[in-house]
Structure 1
Amino acid sequence: MLLPCPMLLLLTALLWIQLPLTRAGRILVYPVDGSHWLNMNIVLKELHQRGHELTVVRSSTSWYIPEKTPHYTSLTVPVNHASHLENPEFMASFLKRNIDIRRGEGSILSFIAYQQETINLLLEAHRASAEMVRTILEDKRLVRKLKGAKYDLLLTDPGFGGGVVLGKYLGLPMVFNVRWITNGDGHFSIAPSPLSYIPTIGSQVTDKMTFKNRLKNLLHYGIGQYIDHITTRPLYQDVISKFIDPDSNIYSLIQGADLWLMRVDFVFEFPRPTMPNVVYMGGFQCKPSKPLPADLERFVQSSGEHGIVVMSLGTLLGSLGPEISEIVASAFARLPQKVVWRNLGPKPSTLGKNTLIVDWLPQNDLLGHPKTKAFITHGGTNGIYEAIYHGVPVLGIPLIFDQFDNMIRLEARGVAKVLEVTSLDVDSLTQALTDILDEKKPYREKMRKMSQLHHDTPLKPMDTAIFWLEYIIRHKGAAHLRTKSYKLSWYEYHNVDVLALLLGVVMALCLLSYMTCRALIKLLLKKAKVKQQ
C-alpha cells in the first residue's frame, strides 16, 4: 500500500532528522588531571551520548580520572609517581608557601621567590608529562595497539605536552580543549598578540594599559618565554628528537593542531586577534540548576529575604588554612545572609550560626538558586563561568596561577571585587561582601547584563564544540583552517629578510647617488678650473 505523498514526505523528514550527520567516531583522549579533567569529562560525556567511542589515556597514579566508567574505555599507563599538580595535599602546602612569600609583597626578593616556586612546580609537572609519553612510545606493543585502533582524532589539553607528542607521533588530527598551553595563553602561539593591549598571564593588567602596565606586561611575557625555552622545551625535546623530528619542538607541535576549542567567551575575555581554527566555547560546562538536596534546600530557605552567600575554592584548594579561615568565619558571622562554605580544614572557632560548612557542595545548583546573592571564589575558570551563566556577582580571593588574571577581567567588567589574601582582615572582607550584596551598587545589575550577553548566542557553547569535533571527524582534519605561520622561521615571520633586502637596495641607491654626485661635482670643478686657466 502506497502512502499519500504528504505522509511520505513527513516520514522522510522524520527519518532524516533522526539520522546522525556524522558517523560515530573513535576518539583518543589524552587529558590533564585535576580541575582540567573536570571540564574535559563534561565534553566526553556529551560525545559518548552522541555515539562516539572514547579511549582515555590516564596515569596509574591519577587522582581524578577514574579507570572504570560507563562513557569511556581507559588506557592506564604505569608511572612511578604522580605530578604534584594532581595531589591535593601537596597543593595545600604549595599554597601555604606562596602565601608566606607574598606577605613580602613589593620586595624584589619575594617576587623572585614566588616565580621560582611556580617554575619549580611546573618543572616537576612537565617532567612527569614527558616521562609518561616516553613510557607510552617505548612500549612497542602499546604503540601497535594504538596505531591499529584507527582513531579519527586525538583530543587533548595542551597545558602539558604529552598528548601533543603522542598525537603527532600517531599522525592523528589534533583537537585541543584549551585555554593555556605549556608557557601561557594559547592565543599567543597562533595569532598576532601585541603586548600593547593584550595582557599576558601573570601581568594582572587589563587591555587599557599605561606605560607602567605595558612594562609589567612585557616583564611577564619575558618570564613566560624563559619558562618555555629554559624549562619546558628541553624536557620534551629528547622524546621529540627520538620519536618524531630533531628539528621540531613542543611549541611547533602545539602550533600544528587542527582545531582549538578555546574555553573562552569574549563577554569575559578582552577582545584580541584570532584565527579561523579557533572555536570559542567559554561556559560550555554550565547548565540550568537542579533542585538542591532537601536538607540544603531547608537551610537556603531559612535565609528569608536576605538570601545566601556561597563560598568555594575549587577542586584542589579546599582550605585557606586555620589563620585565614578564622578571619573568613568572623566576617561571615557579621552578615544577615546565610552562608554555604566548602571548607576542608578544621572548623573555625569564630564560626557563626548563619554559616554551614560542607565537604562538598553542588556549586552550579547553588549559584542558580534564586536566593543566592554572591559567590566567593578563588577565581578558577569553571566557577567564574558558572557565576556568569547564573548572573551572580563575585568576590574574588585569587590564590595561584591564572586566578589573578581571571579576577582582573571580572573586576574590569564591574561585576566583582578582588581582595588580596595576604592582607585579608575581618573588616575589609566584611566591607567587600557588604558592597557586593548591596542592591544599590551596580555589581548585580552588571553581572545580570553580562549573563544576558553570554546567553545570547545562536548555538550553545557545547553544541558548537561538538559540531567542530564532528567536523574534524568528517573531514579528517582541518588543514585549510590552519595558518602556516608556525612553519616560518622568525626572520621570515617578521619579514626581516625582505626588509634587509629593501634596506640594502636603498643603501645601494644612496651610495650610488652619492658616488654619482661626487663624480659630477669633481667633473664640474675640473671644467671650471680649465676655463679659468
Structure 2
Amino acid sequence: MAPAVLTGFLPLCVCLLLTPGFADAGRLLVVPMDGSHWFTMRSVVEKLIHRGHEVVAVMPEVSWQLGKSLNFTVKTYSTSYTLEDLNHQFRIFSEVQWKTRVQSFLSLLMISSGSGFLEHFYSHCRSLFNDAKLVKYLEENSFDAVFLDPFDMCGLIVAKYFSLPSVVFTRGLLCYHLEVGSQCPSAPSYVPRLLSGFSDAMSFTERVWNHILYLEEHLFCSYLINTLLGFASEIFQKTVTEYDLFSHTSIWLLRTDFVFDYPKPVMPNVIFIGGINCHQGKSLTKMAPEPFGKAHSLWYLA
C-alpha cells in the first residue's frame, strides 16, 4: 500500500499538470535582432514568460538594445566588431539611404548591399558558432522551439543546425523568402512585387514589368545574402540555399493584417496577428472637459 504522503501528493501533481501555465509551458530559445526589431519581439517574450514559459536568449555582447533590463536567461557571445564599428557602419548605411531616392525594390537592394552594412551585421552569426562553449550549451539543453526574427537570418541557421521547430516573428520580408519558405503561390501575373507601384489590376505592360522585377529580385536577393549562405554551407558541410533555411520554419507570425496586402493564397502555418510594430502606447493626458470654454467660443466664431 502506498504511503499516505504519496497518496495525497499525487492528486496535487495532477491538478498542477492540468492547470494552464503548467501543462502548456515550454522552453523557448530566442534569437533576436538588434534595433527597433527587438522592441516588438521583447513585448511578446515578456508575455510568454508571464504565462510560465522558460526563455533563453542568445545575443551578441555588442548591441544597441538587446542587453537592457532583461528578466530572463541570456547567453552572450563576443563579436569581431565594437559598438563604435557598428555605429560607423550604420551611419554610412543611413546616409546612403537618405541621399538616394528609392524608385524600385531593386534599387533598394542595391543601396543596401553597396553600403556593406548588412555583411558587417551578418558577421555576428559566425561569432556565435565560433563560441564552442555556447554551442555545447545549446546542444546539451533541450528546447521546444526557436523564436526568431528572419531579417537577421542567423536564427534560421540556429534552428536548422539544432533541428528545432522555428517560429518566425516579422512584419514582412524584403525578398521572396516568405513565399518560398511557406510555399505560398504568388504569381507575378496577379500579385504586384514590393515597391512596384502597381495595383492588383495590372495592364499587360505592367504584368510584363512585374515579371521583370520578379526575375531581378530573385537574381539580386541571392547575391545580397550570399555571404551568409556561404557561412551556412560551412556549418552544414554542404551547399545551403535560402530555401533550405526558410522552408524549415514551422509557424510564420506576421505582424500585419490580411486586408493590408494584395489578395493571394496563404498556407495554414501563416498567421496574421495584427499590427504589433511599436512600443506599448502610453495613455493620453486627462484634461478637464470645457464644452463651452473660450477655445470652443473662438472656434465657433471663426
* TM-score bin (small chain): 0.7 to 0.9
Bigger radius of gyration among the two = 1
The Cα shift of 1:262 comes to 1.9
Equivalent residue of 1:69, what SS? coil
Output aligned runs, 1:328-339, within 5 Å: none
The Cα shift of 1:168 comes to 0.9
Distance in 2, matches of 1:147 and 1:217, equals 45
1:139 aligns with 2:108: no
1:128 aligns with 2:121: yes
Query: Residue deviations 1:127-179, cap 9 Å, x none?
Result: 532x2222222222111111222111111111221111111111111111134
The Cα shift of 1:113 comes to 6.6
Amino acid at match of 1:29: V
User: What TM-score do you get using the length of structure 1 for normalisation?
Assistant: 0.46
Question: Structure 1 residues 93 and 274 mapped into 2: Cα distance closer, same or farther (>3 Å)?
Answer: same
Residue 116 of structure 1 corresponds to 110
Query: Residue deviations 1:439-460, cap 9 Å, x none?
Result: xxxxxxxxxxxxxxxxxxxxxx
The Cα shift of 1:286 comes to 8.1
Distance in 2, matches of 1:182 and 1:113, equals 12
Equivalent residue of 1:36, what SS? helix
Distance in 2, matches of 1:111 and 1:49, equals 40
Conserved 8 A contact 1:264-1:283: yes
Residue 94 of structure 1 corresponds to 96
The Cα shift of 1:53 comes to 1.6
Equivalent residue of 2:99, what SS? helix
Residue 27 of structure 1 corresponds to 28
Residue 6 of structure 2 corresponds to none
Distance in 2, matches of 1:120 and 1:303, equals 57
Conserved 8 A contact 1:178-1:263: yes
Question: Structure 1 residues 35 and 213 mapped into 2: Cα distance closer, same or farther (>3 Å)?
Answer: farther
Conserved 8 A contact 1:85-1:125: no
The Cα shift of 1:215 comes to 2.9
The Cα shift of 1:278 comes to 1.3
Conserved 8 A contact 2:253-2:270: yes
Conserved 8 A contact 2:144-2:164: yes
Amino acid at match of 1:176: V
Conserved 8 A contact 1:126-1:161: no
Distance in 2, matches of 1:185 and 1:241, equals 18
Distance in 1, matches of 2:278 and 2:18, equals 26
Conserved 8 A contact 1:160-1:181: no
Query: Residue deviations 1:57-87, cap 9 Å, x none?
Result: 22222112224422x2222222233686997
Amino acid at match of 1:215: V
Distance in 1, matches of 2:195 and 2:158, equals 29
Distance in 1, matches of 2:215 and 2:233, equals 26
Residue 78 of structure 1 corresponds to 78
Output aligned runs, 1:384-403, within 5 Å: none
Distance in 1, matches of 2:274 and 2:42, equals 15
Amino acid at match of 1:134: R
Which of the pair is proportionally richer in helix? 1
Output aligned runs, 1:506-525, within 5 Å: none
Residue 224 of structure 2 corresponds to 231
Output aligned runs, 1:451-462, within 5 Å: none
Distance in 2, matches of 1:44 and 1:22, equals 19
Query: Residue deviations 1:492-525, cap 9 Å, x none?
Result: xxxxxxxxxxxxxxxxxxxxxxxxxxxxxxxxxx
Distance in 2, matches of 1:304 and 1:204, equals 43
Output aligned runs, 1:191-202, within 5 Å: 191-202=184-195
User: What TM-score do you get using the length of structure 2 for normalisation?
Assistant: 0.77
Question: Structure 1 residues 37 and 257 mapped into 2: Cα distance closer, same or farther (>3 Å)?
Answer: same
Distance in 2, matches of 1:304 and 1:90, equals 48
Distance in 2, matches of 1:49 and 1:87, equals 37
Question: Structure 1 residues 290 and 303 mapped into 2: Cα distance closer, same or farther (>3 Å)?
Answer: farther
The Cα shift of 1:93 comes to 1.9
Equivalent residue of 1:258, what SS? strand
Conserved 8 A contact 2:31-2:148: yes
Query: Residue deviations 1:345-380, cap 9 Å, x none?
Result: xxxxxxxxxxxxxxxxxxxxxxxxxxxxxxxxxxxx
Out of 148, 159, 162, the position equivalent to 2:151 is 159
The Cα shift of 1:17 comes to 8.9
Distance in 1, matches of 2:294 and 2:54, equals 46
CA-atom RMSD in angstroms: 3.6
Conserved 8 A contact 2:179-2:186: yes
Equivalent residue of 1:267, what SS? helix
Amino acid at match of 2:41: M
Conserved 8 A contact 2:105-2:195: no
1:264 aligns with 2:256: yes
Query: Residue deviations 1:304-337, cap 9 Å, x none?
Result: 66xxxxxxxxxxxxxxxxxxxxxxxxxxxxxx9x
Question: Structure 1 residues 247 and 115 mapped into 2: Cα distance closer, same or farther (>3 Å)?
Answer: closer
The Cα shift of 1:22 comes to 3.8
Equivalent residue of 1:57, what SS? strand
Amino acid at match of 1:206: S
Amino acid at match of 1:197: Y
Conserved 8 A contact 2:180-2:246: no
- Unaligned 5+ segments in structure 1 are 1-13, 306-335, 337-533
Residue 357 of structure 1 corresponds to none
Question: Structure 1 residues 17 and 293 mapped into 2: Cα distance closer, same or farther (>3 Å)?
Answer: farther
The worse-fitting range, judged by mean Cα deviation, of 47-56 and 16-25 is 16-25
Residue 61 of structure 2 corresponds to 60
The Cα shift of 1:15 comes to 8.9
Higher-RCO chain (CA-CA 8 Å, sequence separation at least 6): 2
- Unaligned 5+ segments in structure 2 are 1-14
Distance in 2, matches of 1:162 and 1:111, equals 23
Question: Structure 1 residues 145 and 182 mapped into 2: Cα distance closer, same or farther (>3 Å)?
Answer: farther
Residue 277 of structure 1 corresponds to 269
Question: Structure 1 residues 28 and 85 mapped into 2: Cα distance closer, same or farther (>3 Å)?
Answer: farther
Distance in 2, matches of 1:281 and 1:19, equals 22
Question: Structure 1 residues 86 and 212 mapped into 2: Cα distance closer, same or farther (>3 Å)?
Answer: farther
The Cα shift of 1:289 comes to 6.0
The Cα shift of 1:188 comes to 4.4
Identity %: 27
Residue 37 of structure 1 corresponds to 38
Equivalent residue of 2:257, what SS? coil
Conserved 8 A contact 1:161-1:250: no
